[in-house]
Amino acid sequence: MRKAVIPVLLLLGVFLVSWLCQPFTLICQEYEGLFLATPDAWARAFAQPFPLSGILSDFLIQFYRDPVYGALITAVIVALVFLLLRGILSRRGLPVTDTLSALGAGVLWFFLARSPEPKPAVAALLILLGLWLLSLLLPVRKGKAWRADLPVAAALVLAAAAGTVFSPAVQRTERFSRVKRDALYGVWDDLLKAVPPSVAEKDGELTPFALLALSAKGQLGEKMFSYPVYSENDLDMCDYDGNAEYYTSLLFKAALYQHLGCYNEAVHNYCQWATQLRKGTGFIVLRKLVEMYCLLGDYTLMEKYCRVLDHSLLHRSYVKYYRAQAAQGEAHATEPAAVRSVIPVISHDPLYNLLQLESAGIHAASSADRTLATILLRGNPAQLRSVLERLGPSYERIPKHFQEAMVFYGIRSGNVDASVVERYSAFVEDLQLLTDEQLIERYRDTAFIYLQYAL
């Protein structure tokens, strides 16, 4: 009974912490994982360093799609590591077997919670399994257990749990994973809950995702300046610096263009994003390609990716669903060369892209908001005026921040609320009276501050 305390505590603790505090981290590990029973995948699996642990890790990661299974697998790995360590140490007659084993398992848990895949933990498990088997050959030494062995071991487990629950790194990974899931699947309310303005203030990388969620909900023109917006990049993530930002930028653009209905560009960015993943692609990319090609009516390519996914363990119903969709859909015919040669192309300029999409008749409800927001953030009054003249009539009421920009620039292309005019008058008066800090504090949720200071 006494022997079962720590393993049970570990099993329960790791399971609950992983399930309750890291569900999206586990889901995103499955997103970026890949386990396919195809010749190329096997060849690659055996070519990697430590192939056995790599293959086992890739196999297990498939189940992380449901975080309950992911948490359970994590818990079992950590508990097994404890049991193996204790099995090895107890044969040497050490008085602190539970303490040392809990320390080992706790350290493993600490790293596993921060690792993008379970491979290192699986490798540790396999090594310990080998050592335990070897230890069976050694004579058993008897020793007296330290009285405090069990309580200290339990304390170590609790410390490891606290270290995971309260770790800023773990929390940040979990938040980013949640944002990733919400953006990829358009769960905008959840995304906004995960990234309130206070969070975006600390982690600016999340601002474009929050603004994407706002634009999807038709609130960009009303609430964008409640978030810390310092440049156009906070809206469209067109510039990036370094590999981590490149990864995030590609993910963001894939989600953005999917939301805008520009599936060609979404495919482009999903494929680019795939090159940043450990295996050159991942389950999520393959699933997204299936979805995009289904929407594009390219059922031949869709079927290819379905067939690839069919060589994994848990995609049977997914593939069946999309095959049924294809059976009911109408395949898109290839355009003649003369038509293709005049199709507009995507550029590195997000505004140009939005205008091209609009002219091609591809627009989401949020396209007009994003177009106006981009022009506002560039501080181009002439372009704002001309686009407002075109897009303004589509609004029942022009959103607040665009009205603020109209008042700021003196544009009279649409109705402006009296409250906006009053606030601007107060802003102009306060410009003379308040310090910059006071002004920013008072008007931070308006376009006035951005237009006055950021440009």
Partner 1 sequence: MHRPWFPATLFLLVLLGTGCARVAFEDSAQLPPIVPDYAGVTVPEGMAALSFEMADGRPFRVERRRDGDTLFFSVRAWDRKTRRGVRYAPFKVYVSQDPIDPYIAYRLIEPSYEGWKEMGLYTRELATFREHPIVTNRDNRGGCVNCHHFPSGDPSRMMFHARGAGGGTVFLEGDDARLINLTTVGPRKQGVYPAWHPSGRYIAFSSNATHQSFPIYGHQQVEVYDQSSDLILMDLQTDSVSVRPSVCGDARMETFPAWSPDGSELYFCVADSLSDVVDNRSRVHYRLEAIAFRDGQFDGDPYPVWQCDTLSVSFPRVNGKWMLFTAAAYGTFPIWHPEADLYLMDLETGEAAPAEALNSLESDSYHSWSSNGRWLLFSSRRLDGRYTRLYIAHFDGEGHFSKPFLLPQKRYSHNVLRLKSYNVPEFVKGDPGRHSRAVSRLFAQ
List of residues contacting partner 1 (CB under 8 A): 36, 38-40, 262-265, 267-268, 271-272, 274-277, 279-281, 298, 300-301, 303-304, 307-308, 311, 332-347, 353, 356-357, 360, 362
Q: Are 126 and 81 in contact (CB under 8 A)?
A: no
Nearest-approach distance from CB 177 to partner 1, in angstroms: 21
Nearest-approach distance from CB 40 to partner 1, in angstroms: 6
Amino acid at the residue 183: A
> Which string of DSSP letters, residue by residue, matches 176-212?
HHHHHHHHHHT-HHHHHHHS-HHHHHH-GGGHHHHHH
Of 197 and 261, the one with the shorter C-beta distance to partner 1 is 261
Nearest-approach distance from CB 356 to partner 1, in angstroms: 6
Of 65 and 279, the one with the shorter C-beta distance to partner 1 is 279
Of 333 and 418, the one with the shorter C-beta distance to partner 1 is 333
Of 75 and 267, the one with the shorter C-beta distance to partner 1 is 267
Of 217 and 304, the one with the shorter C-beta distance to partner 1 is 304
DSSP secondary structure code for residue 452 in this structure: I
If we measure between CA atoms, which residue out of 115, 117, 109, 110 comes closest to residue 32? 117
What whole-number distance in Å separates Cα of residue 220 and Cα of residue 40? 45
What whole-number distance in Å separates Cα of residue 318 and Cα of residue 400? 42
Nearest-approach distance from CB 183 to partner 1, in angstroms: 20
What whole-number distance in Å separates Cα of residue 342 and Cα of residue 276? 32
The stretches of 119-148 forming alpha helices (DSSP H) are 119-135
Of 72 and 296, the one with the shorter C-beta distance to partner 1 is 296
In whole angstroms, how far apart are CA 357 and each of 78, 176, 263, 333, 352? Answer: 51, 29, 11, 20, 9
In sequence order, which residues have a C-beta less than 8 Å from that of residue 427 and are 6 or more positions away?
Answer: 439, 443, 446, 448
Nearest-approach distance from CB 360 to partner 1, in angstroms: 6
The pair of structure tokens assigned to 31 is: 């997103």
Nearest-approach distance from CB 322 to partner 1, in angstroms: 15
If we measure between CA atoms, which residue out of 191, 215, 189 comes closest to residue 401? 215
Nearest-approach distance from CB 148 to partner 1, in angstroms: 51
The pair of structure tokens assigned to 279 is: 């295996």
Of 168 and 336, the one with the shorter C-beta distance to partner 1 is 336
Nearest-approach distance from CB 14 to partner 1, in angstroms: 32
Q: How many residues appear in the chain?
A: 455
Of 40 and 437, the one with the shorter C-beta distance to partner 1 is 40
Amino acid at the residue 52: L
Of 335 and 422, the one with the shorter C-beta distance to partner 1 is 335
Q: Are 30 and 283 in contact (CB under 8 A)?
A: yes
What whole-number distance in Å separates Cα of residue 36 and Cα of residue 58? 9
Nearest-approach distance from CB 247 to partner 1, in angstroms: 11
Dihedral of CA 379/381/382/388: which sign? Answer: positive
